[in-house]
Amino acid sequence: MKATVTVELKASVLDPQGKAIQHSLSSLGFGGVEDVRAGKLFRIVLADSGQTREEIETQVRQMCERLLANTVIEKFSYTLEE
């Protein structure tokens, strides 16, 4: 099973890295970019341990909440694929 986790800053949190990227894109001639939000992407390969899909989802959610995302300022989403 593979999990793809995306972590992004919440909309209410300023994103200086995103603003720097937006400014750099503008400097390179890409003037149509209105906003950039930077984030992180994790691709996790999980061993086949006989768990149900629900148990795997719970495990991935816990990974996000405990390590991969700072849930005070970040939001996360994930997808699972066989």
User: pLDDT digits over 58-75, tens only?
Assistant: 999 999 999 999 999 999
Q: Could you report the per-residue pLDDT of 23-49, keeping only the tens digit for each?
A: 999 999 999 999 999 999 999 999 988
> Over 18-64, what HEC string results?
HHHHHHHHHHCCCCCCCCCCCEEEEEEECCCCCCCHHHHHHHHHHHH
Query: Pairing relation of β-strands 39-45 and 2-9?
Result: antiparallel
Please give the single-letter amino acid code of residue 62.
Q
The DSSP bridge partners found for residue 77 are: 6
Superfamily of domain 2-81: Phosphoribosylformylglycinamidine synthase subunit PurS (3.30.1280.10)
Return the domain boundaries, the chain: 2-81
